[in-house]
Amino acid sequence: MTRNKAIFTIGAALGLIALFVTAVRDYAGMRAFGRYREARSRVPSIQSGLPEFERHLFTAVHTWPRRLFFEELANLYFDASLAEIQSGTEDKRKSLLDKARDVLLEEVQRYPAAADGYCNLGRVYMISNYPYLTEAAKGREYLKKALILQPADEYLNTNIVAVMLSQWEKLEPSERDDVRARIRNILDHNEAFIAKILNLWKRNHASVDDLKKILSADAEMWPRLQKYF
């Protein structure tokens, strides 16, 4: 009895120590994340502030691997790579995308049930090797994985459907059928969904004519959509 009690006491003490270490590391990670947020508010340019932003987030991720930290670090690299399209170099843009990919691959390995990681990984592959988009098909597979995990999530559906529509000419017939079916299903529950798709399209395209052409080709669905165009 005494021996069992001693073992229990040691186990409880080890559990408390592990809990304390976890709390300390999590606190330290959040402190580093807070320094990152402060730096973002202070330095307006992602390109000039990248080394500092990266340092704080890298510390946060390696102090305590919260999914939030992975997401923010990957988004930082992704946004920085987009900035390089406008005013940087192809080699640097590719390097930043590679970093975003590596962070997200670790995230989905640690958090395989979280859809956001797969969605963001899909985004990375979708624009890899811009403007040739040679890995877009691989990107779409990750986007589909995200929707399998969270099929009813409005944010995921809105953004992923918008991406699929923007690459319509590259989609396989089965992928087009899936997009149409998904739009119909969402419209049955929330018809205003199409307005969000339209807004996303307008951010990245000069005209809605191509989107209208895609959607109007579905004679069954188009009467429900044409009032938005």
Q: Is residue 32 over pLDDT 80?
A: yes
The burial class, CB within 10 Å (0-12 / 13-18 / 19+), for 40 is middle
Fold annotation for 8-146: 1.25.40
Q: How many Å apart are CA 121 and CA 107, to the nearest integer?
A: 10
Q: Is residue 146 over pLDDT 90?
A: yes
Q: What distance lies between CA 97 and its chain's CA centroid? A: 13
Q: What is the pLDDT of residues 49-75, one digit of tens each?
A: 999 999 999 999 999 899 999 999 999
Give φ, ψ of 221 to 5 degrees: -90, -30
Q: How many Å apart are CA 109 and CA 212, to the nearest integer?
A: 39
Q: Is residue 25 over pLDDT 90?
A: no
Do residues 73 and 57 lie in contact, with contact meaning Cβ atoms separated by under 8 Å?
Answer: yes
Q: What is the pLDDT of residues 194-207, one digit of tens each?
A: 999 999 999 888 89
Q: Is residue 13 over pLDDT 60?
A: no
Q: Whole-model pTM?
A: 0.83
| Contacts (Cβ under 8 Å, ≥6 apart) of 46 | 53, 76, 79, 80, 83
Q: How much of the chain, in percent, has pLDDT values that exceed 70?
A: 90
Query: What pLDDT, on the 0 to 100 scale, is given for residue 119?
Result: 95
Query: What pLDDT, on the 0 to 100 scale, is given for residue 5?
Result: 54
3-state secondary structure of 110: helix
Output the six-digit token pair for 112: 């395989």
Q: How does the average pLDDT of the chain come out, rounded?
A: 88
Q: How confident is the model at residue 107 (pLDDT cuts 50, 70, 90)?
A: very high
More confident residue, 107 or 9: 107
3-state secondary structure of 218: coil
Domain ranges of the chain: 8-146, 151-229
Minimal CA–CA distance to 60: which of 73, 76, 47? 73
